[in-house]
Amino acid sequence: IRIIERNCEIPHEGPFCDLMWSDPEEIETWAVSPRGAGWLFGSRVTSE
């Protein structure tokens, strides 16, 4: 996380985009975010 260039516009893909636009959800694993950027992630992913 420390090596990601953060002094820029948020890109449409990649790790910085995923960090900014991913949200926790009441699911177990991963799902595509309905907003079109990032991911939805659940409890099992968080505990891993």
Is 40 within 8 Å of 30 (Cβ atoms)? yes
pLDDT at 45: 87
- With a cut of 80, say whether residue 5 has pLDDT above it: no
- Cα–Cα distance between 26 and 34 in angstroms, integer? 14
Residues 14-41: tens digit of each pLDDT: 888 888 899 999 999 999 999 888 999 9
The domains of the chain are located at: 15-47
Strand partners, 41: 24, 30
- Cα–Cα distance between 25 and 5 in angstroms, integer? 27
Is 22 within 8 Å of 36 (Cβ atoms)? no
| pTM (two decimals) | 0.69
